[in-house]
Amino acid sequence: MLGAFVLLGSVLGSTLATPYTSPVGYMDLFKRISSGCSTTGPASCHNTTRETDLCCFEAPGGLLLQTQFWDTDPSTGPSNSWTIHGLWPDNCDGSFTENCDPSRDYTNIAGLLTDQGASDTLSFMQEYWVDINGQNEQFWEHEWSTHGTCYSTLKPSCLPSGSPKGAEAVAFFQTVVKLFKTLPTYDFLSQAGITPTTSKTFTLSTLTNAIKDATGVTPALNCDGSTLNSIEYYFNLKGSLIDGEFVAIDAPSKGSCSSSGIKYPPKSGGSSTTTSGGSSPTGGSGNLPDKGTIHASSTGGLLSAGTWSTQTLATYHFSGTTKSFTMSTSKGDCGVSDGQLTCGSGVSASTFSARIRLQVTSGGNLLLAYSGSTTFSSDKTPSGTDQETVYTGGSHSKTYTLSIISS
């Protein structure tokens, strides 16, 4: 049975298994619009009849992931706190959709928050929701356009009459910040005697049990190689994302960390410890492989020139970690210029990243990303010997994701 605790919109943080006083001020929580939705109905993913009012029932993305980073090289955020990654609406079966409404891909998130009276939220984000490359605004825009636009309860038609343009995005960022403040991962671990160190490693059970003791539920922990670098807390939702109740549940899978030898280094700009026995990337559970093929979510994958095709896929070579890497093929380095992916002689190598997905229905669990986005597009779907140009983002008619498969 899934463990659960409820974070009430009016009493956040009061149900944690061990005493913890949330730093969220009362007025800070409620300086926001109201959905007018009840929270007495079923939680998302737990309805027994078809729900028709999707302004007050989150669907299909009713499995919510609150994701946090522990970045050490380079370091981001305070040395005694994890940082925000986002809040993602996965479908109840673990599949997901992204970039649901390009017409609401708002820019200048900082200005939007300031103009609508959420400068306190912005100030918090500038310290605790930060990009590893210093591109905070781009990071926030990505999280909103990729994930925020997919919430059914945040559609503009669900907002109170007269709400300003972008009010649903403001509500999204307020909710993410509010929820994050009730999940102080650093404190949860510290209460169990687990603090960042370069002198020892931890078992997965030690780390997850510490979180479970504090919250009553088990999160998913992800590692980059053997180093702990992210955590995912899972929820169902009663009512609207604007002001509903978050019901915490056990993670549906354990994440990518191995069962032992997990490093939890301090935020000191990088750390190096001797790993007994050693390890090498295999691409199995979220590690970046040395080489592999790149598969499109719809059909086919990438050839050696960086084009999309249904022909035999090329072998790609990867150098770096899931956070930041370059890639090449037999034709040369791969790079993005004017939004177009190419690989070849004379191409300037671009930096890519990979998003770890815990639940996948097909393909691999590493999604190729460029500038934080896992969405790629082409003018049409290839067939036969056709090769289609691959563009970053979803500006062309056929959109898809690209999975890295170790070989």
Preceding peptide of 78 cis, ω within 30°? no
Distances (CA, A) of 203 to 25, 73, 169, 207, 212: 36, 22, 39, 7, 14
Which of 85, 141, 232, 245 is catalytic? The answer is 85
Has 137 been annotated as catalytic?
A: no
Has 143 been annotated as catalytic?
A: yes
> What is the C-alpha separation between 304 and 90, in angstroms, rounded?
32
> What is the C-alpha separation between 266 and 169, in angstroms, rounded?
33
> What is the C-alpha separation between 181 and 192, in angstroms, rounded?
19
Has 295 been annotated as catalytic?
A: no
Which of 58, 142, 147, 168 is catalytic? The answer is 147
Which of 58, 98, 143, 232 is catalytic? The answer is 143
For 103, which DSSP code? G
Half-sphere exposure of 149 (CA within 13 A, CB side): 18
Residue 153 has phi, psi (to 5 degrees) of: -80, -5
Residue 327 has phi, psi (to 5 degrees) of: -145, 155
Instruction: Determine contact, residues 59/44, Cβ cutoff 8 Å.
Output: yes
Residues 6+ apart with CB under 8 A from 372: 131, 135, 138, 139, 142, 353
> What is the C-alpha separation between 226 and 283, in angstroms, rounded?
13
Q: What is the DSSP string of 84-128?
A: EEEEEEE-TTS-------GGG----HHHHHHHTT-HHHHHHHHHH
Length of the chain as a residue count: 407
Residues marked as catalytic: 85, 143, 147
